[in-house]
Chain A
Amino acid sequence: GQSLEQPSEVTAVEGAIVQINCTYQTSGFYGLSWYQQHDGGAPTFLSYNALDGLEETGRFSSFLSRSDSYGYLLLQELQMKDSASYFCAVDSNSGYALNFGKGTSLLVTP
Chain B
Amino acid sequence: DTAVSQTPKYLVTQMGNDKSIKCEQNLGHDTMYWYKQDSKKFLKIMFSYNNKELIINETVPNRFSPKSPDKAHLNLHINSLELGDSAVYFCASSPSGTGSEQFFGPGTRLTVL
Binding site for B on A (CB under 8 A): 30-31, 33, 37, 41-45, 48, 50, 85, 87, 91, 93-100, 102-103
Contact = CB atoms under 8 A, between A and B. Distances in A.
A94 B44 contact: no
B50 interface: yes
Nearest to B107: A42
16 contacts: A30-B98, A33-B102, A42-B106, A44-B104, A48-B99, A48-B101, A50-B98, A85-B41, A91-B99, A95-B94, A95-B97, A95-B100, A97-B45, A97-B55, A98-B45, A103-B41
B58 A97 contact: yes
A102 to B, nearest CB: 5
B96 interface: yes
Given A95-B94, A96-B50, A97-B48, A45 B56 contact: no
B53 to A, nearest CB: 11
A57 to B, nearest CB: 12
Contacts of A37: 41
A42 B33 CA distance: 14
A67 to B, nearest CB: 19
A31 B101 CA distance: 12
Given A43-B43, A43-B104, A96-B56, 9 more contacts: A42-B90, A42-B106, A42-B107, A50-B98, A95-B96, A97-B48, A98-B102, A100-B44, A103-B43
B66 interface: no
Contact of A95 (B41, B98, B104): B98
Contact of A45 (B41, B96, B101, B107): B101
B73 to A, nearest CB: 18
Nearest to B56: A97
